[in-house]
Amino acid sequence: MTYAYHPGAGFRRFDGAAAEAEQLAQAFRGLPEGHGPGQALAAFKRAAAYLAIPPSVVQLVDVLFAWTKPEDWRSASTPIVWPRNDKLARKLGLKVRQVQNLLDRAIALRLISHKDSPNGHRGGARAADGTIKWAYGIVLAPIGTRLEEFRAIAARGAREDEEIDGLKRRLTAARRRTASLAQAVLDDMILNTGADEELELAQSAARQMRNVRDIALLTGSVEQIEQRGRALERKVAATLLEREALNQPVELPNSAPKDVHDCTHSTTTNQPQTAKAVTSNGSARRSSGNYGVGSALPQSEVEEDLEKHGVDPDFIDSVTPELCGSLGLGRRGWGELVHLAEQLADQNHIHRHAWHEACRIMGQRGAAASVIATVRKYQVGEVQRPGAYLRGMTGRAAKGELNLGRTFHGLKDLRKAGAMHTMQAGGDPRPVGDFARRAMSQFVLSGRSS
């Protein structure tokens, strides 16, 4: 009765995959002329990666091929090997049960078949010339039958690899180009370009397409990132060209008659300079409210250094928008910066004497820039006592050792590096000062409309 309920107990399972593998084995008529088991194994290994065959099965087939000889692959023979499972387990470093599972997997992949003896044991014998006299065991003929299939799959896979590699190189180039444009946006303080979103999208596409082999999907992703990159490049280039056009020097006509040589050209100022300077503690200075660009006082070395390095009010505003955002809307001048520096000195416990001494040694523009740099470093934790730090800067300026222009360029580089890191992490690189000015602008506009 037991056999009636379990008719296949103790026998090898026979299913559709085993039937297909056996048909491939029976269809084997020998390898093509000039081919041996080495070529068959190489073709199988090259195609295995594109057929999703596990490496453990590839290793099993490689070990099984070690027991074959060229005579087994002739037209009148069948390549059969008969190692026991325990021997295969030692060769592969596995358990016997694992070897059995691998053999079943190889049958399911139509790579091997079985020729069983009457008692179910493997065995065989070879003649003196190496040919197989009789054998029962693992049949490798399906691999020989599928030789041309494996070659075609390997060739097609190699072509796909080449195409995929080219697409991924294009995607990498597009991502790097977008990152370069995003860096240019930060360098030139260009707003409202969406460079941060484009960079995040390009980086996300590069990550998601890393292991994709769908050429159509990969091509669509690459073309989209390239198209968006070109659009961003046109937007950035247009902004830079517009700025360049606005910054072109305009040659003004000479206001003096040609026949008058000793006349004095007049300059228009909104606030004429007062005749007397305001003095405090023996240091000559003017009220910041009346500070104008056309100063009658000679430039200090610090102010000359700032001018040499291109550090003007706009530059300082771009480097420290958190501090300069309180200046409001419109173009900023040195007078506004001096006024802001006086406020910052009071707010950050910098003594008035330290401010006056900085004005005497460095001039008001140099002192204002020094205070703003000091407070900025104080906010980020680089300076513990801003008053003492400002006095130290004044002392170095008196000795001609203060390079304030380099200091501000260093602040700019640090700001760009921080903004780039924030952008790559998916954050918003725009400084807080931009949001403050935008909020103030909306407030003013709403006030006008009301």
When mean pLDDT is compared across 164-178, 321-335, 347-361, the lowest value belongs to 321-335
For residue 134, the model assigns a pLDDT of 94
Whether residues 306 and 384 share a domain: the answer is yes
For residue 258, the model assigns a pLDDT of 42
Whether residues 342 and 383 share a domain: the answer is yes
The C-alpha atoms of residue 385 and residue 367 are separated, in whole angstroms, by 17
Strand, helix or coil for residue 427: coil
Please give the residue that has the higher pLDDT: either 61 or 434.
61
Q: Is residue 133 part of a domain?
A: yes
Whether residues 318 and 437 share a domain: the answer is yes
Task: Name, in order, each residue with C-beta under 8 angstroms of 344's C-beta and a sequence gap of 6 or more.
Answer: 323, 350, 371, 372, 375
For residue 326, the model assigns a pLDDT of 57
| Crossing angle of the two packed helices 215-246 and 147-187, in degrees rounded to 10 | 20
Residue 209 has pLDDT above 60, yes or no: yes
pTM across the whole model: 0.53
For residues 119-130, average pLDDT = 90
For residue 432, the model assigns a pLDDT of 43
Indicate the number of domains in the chain. Answer: 3
Sign of CA dihedral 369, 370, 372, 376: positive
Please give the residue that has the higher pLDDT: either 16 or 147.
147
Strand, helix or coil for residue 244: helix
For residues 88-97, average pLDDT = 95
When mean pLDDT is compared across 70-79, 283-292, 396-405, the lowest value belongs to 283-292
Task: Name, in order, each residue with C-beta under 8 angstroms of 316's C-beta and a sequence gap of 6 or more.
Answer: 324, 337, 369, 372, 408
When mean pLDDT is compared across 75-89, 133-147, 368-382, 407-421, the lowest value belongs to 407-421
For residues 367-383, average pLDDT = 89
For residue 390, the model assigns a pLDDT of 93
The C-alpha atoms of residue 194 and residue 235 are separated, in whole angstroms, by 10
Please give the residue that has the higher pLDDT: either 277 or 35.
35
Whether residues 139 and 173 share a domain: the answer is no
Whether residues 174 and 232 share a domain: the answer is yes
Whether residues 141 and 220 share a domain: the answer is no
For residue 28, the model assigns a pLDDT of 94
Whether residues 322 and 223 share a domain: the answer is no
Q: Which domain holds residue 126?
A: 11-145
Residue 308 has pLDDT above 60, yes or no: yes
73: CATH: 1.10.10
For residue 154, the model assigns a pLDDT of 96
Please give the residue that has the higher pLDDT: either 13 or 222.
222
Q: What percentage of residues in the chain have a pLDDT greater than 90?
A: 48
For residue 247, the model assigns a pLDDT of 65
Whether residues 131 and 192 share a domain: the answer is no
Distance of CA 119 to the CA centre of its chain: 64
Question: Which strand (E) or helix (H) includes residue 39?
Answer: helix 37-48
